[in-house]
Chain A
């Protein structure tokens, strides 16, 4: 102990002044520390890219969507609704096995299954995407009003209680019974109940976030409301919105299959995955013709699973809590 106190006492003698330098305070440097090059969308994209399965599926789905859109304009494509005749007999070319001419064979009245499947995929994807977007728009608007406006809160809660209690299947059936079955009917029927969940999620999130300390801090620092919404709230909502939308697309496609099955779906002249599966179902008793059920089922399963996985992965990536 004595040893050290000796050292300390002599420390001033040992130190040389030229080794030390006074730090000056730089106002500009101090500001620089407060800046970060964090960008919400770039971080989201970066974490999404880490999920290899989702990225692969995203590429495949984009390729599929592109293919489905340009397929009618490719050479050697047949019409999805025309009934083809057998050149030898002159009768309808019914249930032809897959061959060079009809790549996926024909159905029970002689229509080309290959083009029908892609036309059906187009219809189903269209329904799915429109429903998801409409649900999102209505759901976010109502959810935001519900969360922010204290005047409207009671009224919207009452409406919500009623809507939440109605089984979706029943609404689908009722609306399709009353309106004539068509693409727009199906979309309307699905949107009537679809927004409810979205609105609830948005509302809950806004109620939680709106009075958090960081928002309070932003407000007291004089951040404009628009910036609070864009920078403080939206990043938290994107994740939930994506999750709901990724569920809405498979659900809409599935509902179309359901409605077709109970006889309230699109008319047969409008190929959709629901129609195709239903046509395949009728023929499933004969093992030779089961490919007519299997092909559309595979396409449908691929699309719904992909959307679900991509949506979930994106929702995870979009959650700012995961951006570390």
Chain B
């Protein structure tokens, strides 16, 4: 077990290192105006050159990379340039995380509470109207780009119920629509996976045996099918929860929620290179950590997973 986790951890660290390095190197290719900010027009080319040299951007690329890692270990992501001039990037981000986290965690809870039962019901009434309705919903959500229905929800539902269109922290009613929009996608994917795993599990021979010897349908469902169907689902849980930190790029900027997702759009549009770099790094590392934790969780929940030959012999 520990050997497996250690191996998997090592793999994640290596991947993280490769990705951080690649992102850093790729972002060096960005136009340099992104480091000058509003002052760019006032500076002569010589001044610009001095400014960039002072930032360390004229050093050999390997030296830059080294410095970047040293700063990273200190938790220093540099300072914002255009978004909020000279404010450390970490301060900007830490102001935003709470909003994204609140919405994200709420959306995860809502979508598990709705999506998982929906999937279970769909599997139980396979081929009947509820299953078809659910499948229609899933197809719509999976196929249509989320931007389209987010926009339509924002436009028509606010109109219909006469709700304010933008997010306002002090009015609880404005929390509702972003939360609903944010949950639509995860509900569909939870329902889809839950249904698939349930149907797979229900077709297995041991279930037929259990039925044949007269085990109650409810016992079959809760004791056997559900437990087994939850295992593959648990693998994705940590990633979904962790990624809520980054928030939804669409929802947050559509409803002007001051969270992390909207921040990325702002940073890109204002060409704030250090901020973009920090956000991209956070987004990708959270994904990797999520996958790692998912694999570990899966190994913990599923007693069938064996760890190495030495252990399985005993």
Q: How large is the interface on A (under 10, 10 to 19, 20 to 34, 35 or more residues)?
A: 35 or more
Interface string of B148-186 (1 = CB under 8 A from A): 100110110001000001000000000000000000000
Task: Report Cα–Cα, A275/B250, bound state, in Å.
Answer: 16
Residue pairs across A and B with CB atoms within 8 Å: the count is 108
B249 touches A262 (CB 8 A): yes
Interfacial residues of chain B within 268-295, with CB under 8 A of chain A in the complex = 268-269, 276, 280, 283-284, 287-288, 291
B265 touches A262 (CB 8 A): yes
A170 touches B147 (CB 8 A): no
Stretch from B11-19, B206-214, B299-307 that touches the partner:
B11-19
Interface status of A221 (Cβ within 8 A of chain B): no
Which of A250, A261, A307 gathers most chain B CB within 10 Å?
A261
User: Closest approach, in angstroms, between the C-beta of B4 and any C-beta of chain A?
Assistant: 15
User: Closest approach, in angstroms, between the C-beta of A97 and any C-beta of chain B?
Assistant: 18
B15 touches A301 (CB 8 A): no
Question: Which chain B residues border A277 with CB–CB below 8 Å?
Answer: 147-148, 151
A165 touches B287 (CB 8 A): yes
B143 touches A261 (CB 8 A): no
Chain A residue nearest in CB terms to B165: A285
Task: Report Cα–Cα, A247/B139, bound state, in Å.
Answer: 11
Interfacial residues of chain B within 1-54, with CB under 8 A of chain A in the complex = 11-12, 15, 18-19, 23, 26-27, 29-30
Query: With A263-B265, A263-B269 in contact, is A166–B19 under 8 Å at CB?
Result: yes
B250 touches A261 (CB 8 A): yes
A304 touches B151 (CB 8 A): no
B145 touches A304 (CB 8 A): yes
Query: With A165-B287, A165-B291, A170-B283 in contact, is A284–B155 under 8 Å at CB?
Result: yes
A284 touches B151 (CB 8 A): yes
Interface status of B55 (Cβ within 8 A of chain A): no
Interface string of A197-241 (1 = CB under 8 A from B): 000000000000000000000000000000000000000000000
Question: Which chain A residues border B125 with CB–CB below 8 Å?
Answer: none
A304 touches B144 (CB 8 A): yes
Task: Report Cα–Cα, A18/B140, bound state, in Å.
Answer: 72
Question: Which chain A residues border B265 with CB–CB below 8 Å?
Answer: 261-263
Question: Which chain A residues border B142 with CB–CB below 8 Å?
Answer: 247, 250, 308
Question: Which chain A residues border B143 with CB–CB below 8 Å?
Answer: 250, 301, 304-305, 307-309
Question: Which chain A residues border B139 with CB–CB below 8 Å?
Answer: 305, 308-309
Interface status of A173 (Cβ within 8 A of chain B): yes
Interface status of A167 (Cβ within 8 A of chain B): yes
Extra 13 A-B pairs, beta carbons < 8 Å, given A170-B283, A262-B249, A262-B268: A165-B284, A170-B280, A173-B268, A174-B26, A178-B26, A258-B249, A261-B147, A262-B264, A277-B148, A287-B159, A293-B152, A301-B144, A305-B143
Spell out B's residues near A (CB within 8 Å).
Answer: 11-12, 15, 18-19, 23, 26-27, 29-30, 139-140, 142-148, 151-152, 154-155, 159, 165, 249-250, 264-265, 268-269, 276, 280, 283-284, 287-288, 291
| A-B CB contact pairs (8 Å), 29 listed | A161-B11, A162-B15, A162-B18, A162-B19, A165-B15, A165-B291, A170-B280, A177-B268, A178-B26, A178-B27, A178-B30, A250-B142, A253-B145, A254-B146, A258-B249, A258-B250, A261-B147, A261-B265, A262-B265, A262-B268, A263-B265, A263-B268, A277-B148, A297-B151, A300-B145, A301-B140, A305-B139, A308-B139, A309-B143
